[in-house]
Structure 1
């Protein structure tokens, strides 16, 4: 029984709770969380102090890392050597630390995730900034504690001239809590602290005028000032960190994406692997090759793009699917007073730092004051001795030994023990006149310093001024430019077109089902009657049948010969050169057998966001009253349907019109419901009637007769005469003769182009309004020379040029002003010189 006398009975639950709490506190205080005062965890502090104690200053000779690790383990940190070395490695990495505290020589790892060389190979010493962290540690500025075995003392916190915690940040996972503090710019921190000292009632938001946000060592960009202010005001939040990328052209004109900075803590090698996998899995299109061209001067990732790729779209996709864009989650948790974990806003962090520095500077002043007083006391004794040097020497000579001399000096000359000792140790050379003057000058200087230090201790404001001055010195010595750019706007959930430039483009379609997008600048204006340039490379059996000028951001409705409709964005059509054939339409639309696109309508706005009756912007960007789509078939059938009925066009398409046998849909135009419609046939007949003659119908309806055709004839053109334009024409008829020039500007014209390259303009007033369904009147004189009419369209205000493309791919761009204004029953003038057997395929105006 006596063997069990010291055994206590304890509930296992209670014991586990107690032990776990002890463990948790040990991890929180002793390992995972930084001290808000010097911004260091115990292992960081011990490494820096051990290197300082070893004399490894920034100017000292480099020492093997293994030596430092052994010193840390043996004296201060009884844990694994790998943990200590890994910590020291991070302190030396310029891509992990905004301001490294250890200067390393050798392989210390890389952005690609490569580990550092073994500690027996690398060498290290403190950086100048780390020395600033240690300054004044020998002046009783901080408290000390026993090391793990009680054989020596170690600092509980460092003097830390720099706000290390915000300067380099900190990451750590404790028990039930974690910290995530980003690094910041030294210059901004100094400015913010100085402002806080001058304005103690300022808020965290006020401080963000100086401290713009995190400044990551890897650069990049951060977004959303409001989110930054919110995170700094509460101590918690999320900030988007995006890579720095630009789109350039190489010497051959090919597009490239160049990435010159990646987000913080992103493994570059893993990033490249992720991009390669996305390309392999076809989740990102348009990338031809990826190269890592990084060197000692910095990061450079080159992404070569395919010729048909849209660079901004590819880049947006990479931001969304890879670590080129990351969110840094802030949880600004630190130990206050070395024991209590607290989440602190930005202002509280700076206040804790200023309070720590105030205590350090105060203790340093007291230390210096004490040393100055001690020295002044000695100097006063020496001066007194020099004033009575003969009596002093006589007393010393009469003394039997040193101890007796010491006693006699104190007794006869009223000296302290320290003064008597200093006199006995004084050299004879001090008796020289110059040496005597030096003592008097030094005493005077010490008394001045004492008065100055005592004055400082009486004034907290002056102590704060000392802190500001020291920070200003550090800013001048170590301050640098911000690496991470700050953008006030948030990134948000972006759409593909958000970074795609809005610009005009030309869409071409061929009979063979090929489509492409081109820049209008590819076609320079030529004189009327020219031969043109090659605009597309087609197969011998393929011909160009459609040409349209739209905007890259336009929503495109594609109508097929079978009466179906599909929707896509203009920028989704691959861009190609002037002579390229393009890509098959079936790659973008789910077309059926023998189904082909015959008409295209462009809108600025998404139809899903519009209700019936709301005005839409057409492809030219003009605000209009487009509430309907007017459809016309080859056989002269016309149908009007509300635009809102096409709001939910599926990828598989929707029915737009029901067609008769052997008929096909050919033209689709937006209208207001109050406009007029003009239709033109291949053999030169035309009819103009009011749109109101055709009532609105549903998508599945078949339409009504618009023009009665003669045998062998077919409709080749349909256009809308806007109600507002008709009003202008009516007004122009009343203009007096002295305003004839104005009348010309108000007159609307119909452009008619024939297949053999002829064309003309005719005033619309020559086409009288008739009833729907008639045979109409002559629109042009069709002859063997001109060939049949290919197209006819209304010339809207602002149109300047015409682009015509032949079935063999020849293209000409010429001024509309060069085309003659002629009567209805005329054959026109030559617009484009045609090769034998070639015909005009399509025309567009811009």
Structure 2
């Protein structure tokens, strides 16, 4: 074989350049970093979307894959986006599409997925198996895009065009949040509640100088789609003030019996983007490493119908609350969320505080609304111009036809029409292009009506463009409409700092220290961290305490329900709340139906200690029966303490005191007070005795133990047909001493005089003054001053009253059997709103 030769002329034509490797790497890296920052990882502050998300929604809108149409294969959407707009792989496009359809990732999903879109612990099925279409919220993101509301730019090969930003009818950056890792920077923005964000935007529209504190009255913190609890609000304020901050997210848990002999920790909501399988893995590792003790078993009962349900069974003798604190420290049941609010503003990455994010979005919506209004104005003016030409032509249609027939060509016809009827070239062309059959649709009256409507529309559109306040009102009204259409209640609970775990959890066995068990009017139950005397006054933003019981942390107590049952409970199973100097707060308490096995329509009424030397019970029913029950503690989880007739139920229950007075208040405004000694104690199987004689159609609405020297009677009257909580009614406060004591089983005395239109008492209570009341929201309702007239009429209230603080726990000041750690106690002081 001949040896190849080198062509000297070819060598002379080569042009080899020496390039510095460092300079080449810097230039290439900067170009790559620029592409990642601006074209992939960071969202635009106006619509809150990354380029791939924006291209997906725009493509689906162009393809007509809307909520009112059927799903299509995700592979079809991915192929369309990749082929026309997104110069990257199909995996990145599909991942972005799936995330926009996951309700646990997006507070307001933009894609309606069909098929396996994954879970918190597993990825989705392949795109050839899944289907999608636009979610209803996605239509709001693209609404008006065909009305010149946003700028378009060429795609990656210059053959197509794509929007630089979407119109975005709602603030997607805050509502759905964002996460992304670029080169040298990253973004992590928490989801928020749409209703709260819209309220802040409307306030900012009214007052551009509003400060952060005022904005946070509307947006108190993030609202994650998975719920949970945010513990500690200082980090949230730092994030809103500077764009950077961190806070702790805690799972929503409750402690309840999971078997007849075992307690368990039930997890119903997990921190954002934390899956149950991850928690189970961490728990098993903690048990294997001896870092977690007291766990008997872990079960994952999570499903699509019931949502998250993780059951952590606790070994007998272990304090579930202390174990829960260990779980917070050792697992992702408590996680940290760090906000780093970085987004693109005018093409530049910027760390944005809350107010700036709101301002950027508002500026965008104002521009979108302005451009849309101009577009609509131009279309309306053009149509009005054509309609006026048609009106002129229709009025002399025969002459128009004659001119057209006698003209040599279209140009001559156009010139003659313009000269004969003073038409513009556009109007003349429109008449010439119109088919003769379309003349049958037109009449002068209809055209004049259309012209009038167009003139009105044009005037309103010009008003929007000329008056800034009108423009702001239009933007505010559109935000309100979106909020009403897509807004949902808050899911994440905000806790100031009470949920912070201690640095050292301490022993799992809780000392048997004295405490109070409290029951609120909304069904929250908790125990206090001490047995100090309960406060005698104080108000805050919650409901009222309706029952209390002094016991110890390891002791048992009883819950009396409206069905006449007494349920055995343990104080250690209840969450602990601090006993402050003003009022105990049950905000961290648990709902009664989550703790105790209550039947349908069963609710707790009273709390009593379960000891051999504790006092008995005193009960009053809706049909006027009273019963004093001898103390009897059975070896059962629950037992009946009264035999009730059909349609009867217990309305009041408390610890017995033979020296006290008992009182009934009925719906027809009768009050009967008589000594408890007039009622003979019975066993639990007894049905009680007649307490008050009821009038026709009347029923008992309140029963309890009272003190004539210190109690007030509060009655609220209204229509007998009014639904509960819908009528404010007329309230009256009268000292109980004004009502004389009567004999048992009598009709009592009138305690409220009905005015015209009134027919019944809506609510009533007797308690130590000053008696306080609350609305359904928990806010305090001011009651009128005391009225010495026992049968006087009431004073109108500002809002309906749903709760009145009576005397929880009974009037006795003596403890049970001399024990200071498990008594019926004097809880008459618990009359505060908190």
Q: What TM-score results when the alignment is normalised by the length of structure 2?
A: 0.60
- Check conservation: 1:244, 1:260, Cα contact below 8 A: yes
Q: CA deviation at 1:414?
A: 2.5
What is the CA deviation profile of residues 565-610 of structure 1, one whole-angstrom value per residue up to 9, with x for unaligned ones? xxxxxxxxxxxx99xxxxxxxxxxxxxxxxxxxxxxxxxxxxxxxx
Distance 2:494 2:419 in 1: 74
Q: CA deviation at 1:420?
A: 1.0
Distance 2:237 2:508 in 1: 26
List aligned pairs for 1:147-296, cutoff 5 A: 147-250=155-258, 252-296=260-304
Distance 1:125 1:799 in 2: 67
Q: Which residue of 2 aligns with 1:356?
A: 364
Q: CA deviation at 1:394?
A: 1.6
Q: Which residue of 2 aligns with 1:680?
A: none
Aligned length in residues: 524
Q: CA deviation at 1:45?
A: 0.7
- Check conservation: 2:323, 2:508, Cα contact below 8 A: no
What is the CA deviation profile of residues 238-282 of structure 1, one whole-angstrom value per residue up to 9, with x for unaligned ones? 011000000012351421110000000113212111112212332
List aligned pairs for 1:689-700, cutoff 5 A: none
Is structure 2 residue 493 aligned with structure 1 residue 489? no
Distance 1:453 1:476 in 2: 25
Bigger CA drift: 488-497 or 231-240?
Answer: 488-497
What is the CA deviation profile of residues 404-446 of structure 1, one whole-angstrom value per residue up to 9, with x for unaligned ones? 3223212332222221122224455666697221111111111
Distance 1:491 1:520 in 2: 24
Q: 1:309 aligns with which of 306, 313, 318?
A: 318
Is structure 2 residue 104 aligned with structure 1 residue 103? no
Bigger CA drift: 427-436 or 396-405?
Answer: 427-436
Is structure 2 residue 487 aligned with structure 1 residue 470? no
Q: CA deviation at 1:286?
A: 1.2
Structure 2 residue matching 1:103: 3-state secondary structure: strand
Structure 2 residue matching 1:208: 3-state secondary structure: helix
Structure 2 residue matching 1:209: 3-state secondary structure: helix
Q: Which residue of 2 aligns with 1:59?
A: 68
Structure 2 residue matching 1:237: 3-state secondary structure: strand
Bigger CA drift: 1-10 or 69-78?
Answer: 1-10
- Check conservation: 2:228, 2:251, Cα contact below 8 A: yes
Structure 2 residue matching 1:309: 3-state secondary structure: coil
Distance 2:68 2:90 in 1: 26
Q: Which residue of 2 aligns with 1:628?
A: none
Is structure 2 residue 338 aligned with structure 1 residue 324? no
Q: Which residue of 2 aligns with 1:120?
A: 128
Q: CA deviation at 1:205?
A: 2.6
- Check conservation: 2:258, 2:313, Cα contact below 8 A: no
Distance 1:410 1:52 in 2: 42
Distance 1:146 1:504 in 2: 73
- Check conservation: 1:205, 1:233, Cα contact below 8 A: no
Q: CA deviation at 1:522?
A: 9.3
Change (3 A) 1:498 1:43: farther
Distance 1:491 1:518 in 2: 19
Change (3 A) 1:430 1:520: closer
Greater Cα radius of gyration, structure 1 or 2 = 1
Structure 2 residue matching 1:496: 3-state secondary structure: coil
List aligned pairs for 1:586-625, cutoff 5 A: none
List aligned pairs for 1:392-431, cutoff 5 A: 392-428=400-436
Distance 1:139 1:384 in 2: 30
Gaps of 5+ in 2: 1-8, 516-551, 559-575, 578-609, 612-813, 824-834
- Check conservation: 1:205, 1:232, Cα contact below 8 A: no
Is structure 2 residue 380 aligned with structure 1 residue 372? yes
List aligned pairs for 1:505-584, cutoff 5 A: 519=554
What is the CA deviation profile of residues 797-817 of structure 1, one whole-angstrom value per residue up to 9, with x for unaligned ones? 9996589xxxxxxxxx99xxx
Distance 2:816 2:227 in 1: 48
Q: Which residue of 1 aligns with 2:782?
A: none
Structure 1 residue matching 2:218: 3-state secondary structure: coil
Structure 2 residue matching 1:38: 3-state secondary structure: coil
Change (3 A) 1:143 1:7: farther
Distance 1:378 1:518 in 2: 85
Distance 2:498 2:172 in 1: 29
Is structure 2 residue 41 aligned with structure 1 residue 41? no
List aligned pairs for 1:654-673, cutoff 5 A: none
Q: Which residue of 2 aligns with 1:545?
A: none
Q: CA deviation at 1:497?
A: 6.0
Structure 2 residue matching 1:263: 3-state secondary structure: coil
Q: Which residue of 2 aligns with 1:785?
A: none
Q: Which residue of 1 aligns with 2:82?
A: 73
Structure 1 residue matching 2:237: 3-state secondary structure: helix
Q: Which residue of 2 aligns with 1:672?
A: none
Q: CA deviation at 1:500?
A: 9.1
Q: What TM-score results when the alignment is normalised by the length of structure 1?
A: 0.59
Structure 2 residue matching 1:259: 3-state secondary structure: strand
Distance 2:15 2:359 in 1: 50
Structure 1 residue matching 2:246: 3-state secondary structure: strand
Change (3 A) 1:226 1:499: farther
Distance 1:520 1:169 in 2: 47
Change (3 A) 1:416 1:6: farther
- Check conservation: 1:223, 1:239, Cα contact below 8 A: yes
Change (3 A) 1:423 1:357: same
Q: 1:137 aligns with which of 138, 145, 154?
A: 145
Structure 1 residue matching 2:148: 3-state secondary structure: coil
Change (3 A) 1:319 1:57: same
Q: CA deviation at 1:196?
A: 0.8
Distance 1:269 1:63 in 2: 31
Distance 1:329 1:490 in 2: 20
Distance 2:142 2:71 in 1: 18
Distance 1:318 1:479 in 2: 34
Distance 1:122 1:435 in 2: 53
- Check conservation: 2:244, 2:340, Cα contact below 8 A: yes
- Check conservation: 1:358, 1:463, Cα contact below 8 A: yes
Structure 1 residue matching 2:249: 3-state secondary structure: strand
Q: CA deviation at 1:390?
A: 2.6
Q: CA deviation at 1:117?
A: 0.8
Change (3 A) 1:421 1:274: same
- Check conservation: 1:312, 1:500, Cα contact below 8 A: no
Structure 2 residue matching 1:247: 3-state secondary structure: strand
Distance 1:281 1:68 in 2: 48
Q: CA deviation at 1:458?
A: 1.0
- Check conservation: 1:225, 1:490, Cα contact below 8 A: no
Gaps of 5+ in 1: 507-516, 524-551, 554-576, 579-796, 804-812, 815-846
